[in-house]
Protein backbone atom coordinates (compact mmCIF):
# COMPACT_ATOMS: atom_id res chain seq x y z
CA UNK A 1 0.00 0.00 0.00
CA UNK A 2 1.42 3.35 -1.01
CA UNK A 3 -0.08 6.61 0.12
CA UNK A 4 0.90 10.22 0.59
CA UNK A 5 -1.15 10.30 3.83
CA UNK A 6 0.77 8.57 6.66
CA UNK A 7 -2.37 8.53 8.85
CA UNK A 8 -3.90 5.83 6.61
CA UNK A 9 -1.02 3.37 7.00
CA UNK A 10 -1.14 0.44 9.44
CA UNK A 11 0.95 1.11 12.56
CA UNK A 12 3.04 -2.09 12.53
CA UNK A 13 3.81 -2.12 8.82
CA UNK A 14 4.84 1.46 8.21
CA UNK A 15 8.02 2.53 6.47
CA UNK A 16 8.87 5.66 4.57
CA UNK A 17 10.48 6.17 1.20
CA UNK A 18 12.41 9.39 0.73
CA UNK A 19 13.17 10.85 -2.67
CA UNK A 20 14.89 13.93 -4.04
CA UNK A 21 12.38 14.20 -6.88
CA UNK A 22 10.10 17.23 -6.51
CA UNK A 23 6.36 16.72 -6.19
CA UNK A 24 4.00 18.19 -8.79
CA UNK A 25 3.05 21.72 -7.79
CA UNK A 26 5.63 21.79 -5.00
CA UNK A 27 7.95 24.71 -4.22
CA UNK A 28 11.05 22.91 -5.62
CA UNK A 29 9.46 21.87 -8.92
CA UNK A 30 10.48 24.97 -10.91
CA UNK A 31 14.13 24.94 -9.77
CA UNK A 32 14.76 21.20 -10.01
CA UNK A 33 16.71 19.70 -12.92
CA UNK A 34 14.53 16.58 -12.52
CA UNK A 35 10.92 16.47 -13.61
CA UNK A 36 8.26 16.27 -10.91
CA UNK A 37 7.16 12.80 -9.83
CA UNK A 38 3.80 11.97 -8.31
CA UNK A 39 3.26 9.07 -5.90
CA UNK A 40 2.57 6.62 -8.74
CA UNK A 41 5.88 7.46 -10.47
CA UNK A 42 7.91 7.17 -7.24
CA UNK A 43 6.39 3.73 -6.54
CA UNK A 44 7.10 2.64 -10.14
CA UNK A 45 10.74 3.72 -9.93
CA UNK A 46 11.20 2.03 -6.55
CA UNK A 47 9.60 -1.13 -7.94
CA UNK A 48 12.26 -1.55 -10.63
CA UNK A 49 15.10 -0.97 -8.14
CA UNK A 50 15.42 -4.67 -7.27
CA UNK A 51 15.54 -5.64 -10.95
CA UNK A 52 18.26 -3.06 -11.66
CA UNK A 53 20.37 -4.20 -8.68
CA UNK A 54 20.04 -7.86 -9.64
CA UNK A 55 21.12 -7.24 -13.23
CA UNK A 56 23.98 -5.01 -12.11
CA UNK A 57 25.25 -7.82 -9.88
CA UNK A 58 25.08 -10.33 -12.75
CA UNK A 59 27.03 -8.02 -15.07
CA UNK A 60 29.59 -7.29 -12.35
CA UNK A 61 30.08 -11.03 -11.73
CA UNK A 62 30.53 -11.68 -15.45
CA UNK A 63 33.06 -8.90 -15.97
CA UNK A 64 34.92 -9.44 -12.73
Structure confidence by residue, pLDDT tens digits, 10-62: 777 767 778 888 989 999 999 999 999 988 888 888 889 889 999 999 999 98
pTM summary value: 0.58
CA distance 31 to 15: 28
Angle at 2 between CA 24 and CA 13, to 5 degrees: 140
Amino acid sequence: MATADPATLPAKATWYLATVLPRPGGPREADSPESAADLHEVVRIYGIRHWIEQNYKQVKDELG
